Chain A
Amino acid sequence: MVVYVFGRYIRIAHWVRNGLLIWLVLSGIYIGNPFLARNLASEASEIFIMAQVRGWHVIAGWILLAMTLVRIFQFLFIRQDGKLGLGAELRMAPVMFSWRAWRDQLAFYLLMRRDHPHFTYSNYGPLQYLVYTMLYASLLVISVTGIILAAPYLSSGIAVWSADIMRPIEVWMGGLANVRAVHRFVMWFFILFTVAHIYMAVWNSMRTGNLLIEGIVSGFAAKDDDVHSRPATDEELEPAAKTEKKSTPSEKKSPNAGGKH
C-alpha cells in the first residue's frame, strides 16, 4: 500500500533546489575561472557576460538561502501535528547517537542484512540524519561565504549590511581569498553529496521496493510495513501498478512486516 509521504511543498522545493544547485555550481565554476569564449566583437561597455553570470549566481544563492532557512525553521520548530514547538525532526536526533541504529543501518548498506531497519522514533536512519544535518550546515556556510563575497560588489542593501554583521567571520577566515576557498570546498561537498544521494536513493528504492524515487515525484511511497526485503516480483508489481490510484490498496504481502529486527 502506498502512502502520501512527500507533501507538495517538499517535492517542489526538492526539485527547485536541485535546479538551483546545478546552476550555482556551473555559474560558480565560471566565476572561479571563466570558461566561456570571450566576445571581442563588442565593446566592453555593451556586454555584461560575467556581470550577468555573477548576478544570477547571487540571485539563485539568495533563493537557495531563503529555502534553506524555511527548511531549517521547519526542522527546528514544526511539530508532528504542524504546530509550533520543538520540531518533530529535531526530536529524531537521538537516532544519530544510537549505536544500535548505526549498526543496523550500516549492516543493511553493507549487504549484511536483508531488511531495511526502521526506527519507530525517527523518519531517518542515523547516516541519513547526519548527512542531512551536514548538508544544511553546509548550505549555511556556503550562503554566509557567498554573502561575504558578494557584498564588496554592492554599495548598499541586504548583502552589505549582513556582510558587515558577519565581518568577524571574514576576519576569522583570514580575508576574502580564504572565504573564497571555503566557498569552493563546500561546492565540492554538494557535488559529492548529490552523487551519493542519487545512488543511495536509487539503490534503496530498488533494494527495498519502497518507491522512494517515485515518491519524490508523485508524493507516494510504499508504507514502511510494506517495504519488501527483496526486489519486487512480477506478481507484486502488477497490483502495485493499480495502487497508483490511491483507492485500491495493493495486495498485502509482507514477509517481514512484523519483523523489524
Chain B
Amino acid sequence: MNRPHTQTEPPAQAPTQEHSPREYYERLAAEADAHMDRLEAKEPLKELTLETLLKRRGVTRREFLKMVAVTTAALSLPSIFDLRVARAAELATRLPVIWQELQSCTGNSIALLRNANPGVDALLLDLISLEYSEVLMAPSGQAAEDVLEAAIERYDGQYIAVFEGSVPVADGGNYLTIGPAGHTGIEIVEHISRHAAAIVAAGTCAAYGGIPAARPNPTAALGIADFLNTRRINTPVVNLPACPVSSTNIVGTILEYAMFGRLPQLDAFGRPLWAYRDRIHDKCERRSHFDAGQFVEGWNDQEGLKRGLCLFKVGCKGPMAYNNCGVVRYNEGTSWPIMAGHGCIGCSEPGFWDTMTPFEEPLPGRVYPLPFGLDADADTIGAVALGAAAVGIAAHAGATVVKSALEQRQAKQEPPKKEQ
C-alpha cells in the first residue's frame, strides 16, 4: 500500500499510522471471519459441496490449495488468509451470480473454461451459484429468460452481476438484442444492474467499451460503468479489464467478495488495486534489457529475439498498461504475451485499441484521424507543420529581401523625408 491510487471506495479499515501491518491484517481477518460466518448461516443455493466437486473433477486437494495460495498472493493478502480464501471458495455456493453476455466475443468465459487441465479456476464456475449464463446454461429461448427473471426476483439486491461485453446505445440499442422478446442490451443491463448488489465488468469491452468502442464506434458502445453513469444507476462496479481478463483476477474478485462482502479498493479507472497497481513494465521479466537499452530491433532480429531482449521497439505497450499478467500469467500460469515473445498490446487500458495501435510499433507511431483521409502520426503531423513553417519562412524572407531592395532604390531616388 505504499503507492495508493485515487480510491473510489476506501476499505472499512484502511491501515493508518496507528495500526501496525500485523494489527491491520488481524482486523481484516476478523472482518472476513465475521462476514463468512454470516454467509455460512445462509442456506446454500445448490446441493454441491466443494468436496464432491473436487472429487468429481479429479482435482486433488493439493492442486486446489495451490490455486488458493496463488489467489491469496494475487489478492496481496498474507498467508494467514490462505484458509480463509479456501473457506470463501467453499461458501461460494451461497453467492448468487448472474453472468450476462453483451456485445462480446465470450472470450472471457472461454479463457476461464478452456484450460488444458480440468481447470482449477473453472471450478469456481461450478461452485458459485451461477443462476444465468448464456454460455454455460442448458435452457434457451423463453426458458432461459424465465430463469433470469426468477433469479432477479429471488435474489433481489443480493446477487453479483458479471457483464461481459459492451453496451451499444446507438439506434436505441438495437445493435444488440437478446432473447425471444428481443430485449436490447440497454434494457437488459438496466434491469439486471438495478437489482444487483455489485457488478463485475469482466474484460475490456465491459469495462471501457473495448474493441466495439474503437473508432469510429458505429454502435456507440459504452463500458458498463459509463453506461450506468448515463442512466444514474449507482450500483458499484469493479472493472476487470484485459482481453481476456486472466482467470485469477475473476476468481480473486469473486472470492474476495465472498470473503468480505464488499468490493476491493479500486484505482482511478475502477480496477482493483491488488491486480492493477503496477504496470506490465514494472513486473516484466525483460525489464533489465529496457533499462540497459537493449532492444529487439525488428521481427527479423533473430539474435535479439533469442536473447529475450526488450520488446519496446517492436511495439510493447507495457509502460502504458496496468495489469498483473507478468505475475499471474495465463493458462494456469503457463505463459503470457511478453514471455511468448510479443510485446504487450495494452489491452487492459481505457481507450484500448485506439490508444494502443499500431501494436508492433512504439507509441509515436499512433495514427490520428484527420479530415480528408489525411490520417497521420504525431511526428508526421509535426514534420509537415515544420515543413510548412520552413516554406513560410523562405517565402517571407524572400519577400523581405525584395521589399528591402525596392525600398532602398526608392530611398536613393527620393531624399529622405523629415516628417512621416
Contacts and interface: CB of A to CB of B under 8 A. Distances in A.
B292 to A, nearest CB: 4
B5 A167 contact: yes
A204 to B, nearest CB: 11
Given A176-B319, A177-B346, A178-B355, A34 B382 contact: no
A155 B346 contact: no
Nearest to A51: B291
Interface stretch (B85-93, B115-123, B175-183, B400-408): B400-408
B294 interface: yes
A164 interface: yes
A241 interface: no
A199 B395 CA distance: 12
A36 B269 contact: no
B393 interface: yes
A156 B4 CA distance: 11
Given A32-B362, A177-B320, A192-B389, A48 B294 contact: no
A256 to B, nearest CB: 6
B268 interface: yes
Nearest to A50: B293
A174 interface: yes
A242 interface: no
B2 A156 contact: yes
Interface stretch (A64-72, A79-87, A180-188): A180-188
Contacts of B312: 34
Interface in A220-234: 230-231
A94 interface: no
A134 interface: no
A47 B350 contact: no
Q: Of A160, A177, A199, which is in contact with the most chain B CB atoms at under 10 Å from its CB?
A: A177
Nearest to A151: B3
Contact of A176 (B289, B349, B379): B349
A40 B378 contact: no
Contacts of B320: 175-177, 180
B386 interface: yes
Interface string A194-205: 011001000100
A192 B385 contact: yes
A170 interface: yes
B134 to A, nearest CB: 31
Nearest to A30: B293
A44 B286 CA distance: 10
Contacts of A160: 3
Contact of A152 (B279, B303, B365, B419): B279
A175 to B, nearest CB: 5
A181 B363 contact: yes
Contacts of A44: 288-289, 291-292, 294
B interface, size bucket: 35 or more
Given A38-B309, A230-B407, A47 B351 contact: no
B350 A114 contact: no
Contacts of B84: none
B385 A34 contact: no
Interface string B379-395: 10110011001100100
B382 A171 contact: no
A231 B268 contact: no
B410 to A, nearest CB: 10
A120 interface: no
B356 interface: yes
B293 A196 contact: no
A178 B411 contact: no
A255 B382 contact: no
A10 interface: no
Nearest to A206: B400
A230 B411 contact: yes
B17 interface: no
Given A171-B268, A177-B356, A181-B366, A49 B293 contact: yes
A171 B266 CA distance: 13
A191 interface: yes
Q: Of B294, B309, B385, which is in contact with the most chain A CB atoms at under 10 Å from its CB?
A: B294
Contacts of B411: 230
Interface string A19-38: 00000000000001110101
A164 B292 contact: no
Contacts of A34: 293, 295, 312-313
B349 A39 contact: no
A248 to B, nearest CB: 25
A207 interface: yes
Contacts of B321: 176
A255 B385 contact: no
A184 B407 CA distance: 44
A202 to B, nearest CB: 9
A45 interface: yes
A259 B417 CA distance: 12
B5 A255 contact: no
B416 A203 contact: no
A158 interface: no
Given A171-B268, A195-B389, 7 more contacts: A36-B293, A44-B292, A152-B279, A155-B2, A164-B4, A167-B5, A199-B397
Closest A-B pairs by Cβ, 6 of them: A49-B293, A188-B382, A259-B420, A177-B355, A51-B291, A44-B288
Interface of B: 2-6, 268-269, 278-279, 281-282, 288-295, 297, 303-304, 307, 309, 312-313, 317, 319-321, 346, 349-351, 355-356, 362-366, 378-379, 381-382, 385-386, 389-390, 393, 396-397, 399-400, 403-404, 407-408, 411, 416-420
5 contacts: A36-B293, A177-B355, A188-B378, A207-B400, A230-B411
